[in-house]
Amino acid sequence: MQPRLQSKALSLYVRNLFKYKGLPEYKGLFSIGKEIYQDNGEIYNEGFAIDEENLRILKARIEAIFIDDTKSKPGRV
């Protein structure tokens, strides 16, 4: 088992790989990931690539979950 490292901060991102890398083979691809900043100064980066159509589907599903969640809780609009 690896020792658990304490993190200072977590950063989530969605990057347009074509704009980020500038290579034509990345056109229409996006990177979704997280950066975890550790107390020891290291940065761990995890993520995956996704095409634009699937990114839109994922975004719609996430929005539906949050909208449904806010409607189901009393006192929320």
At 1 the pLDDT is: 46
Residue 45 near residue 35, CB atoms below 8 Å: yes
4: number of CA atoms within 13 Å, CB side? 1
* Blockwise average pLDDT, block size 10, the chain, 77 residues: 61 90 90 90 93 95 82 57
Q: What is the CATH number that goes with domain 7-72?
A: 3.10.450
At 9 the pLDDT is: 86
Domain ranges across the chain: 7-72
At 35 the pLDDT is: 92
- Count of Cβ atoms closer than 10 Å to residue 14 Cβ: 13
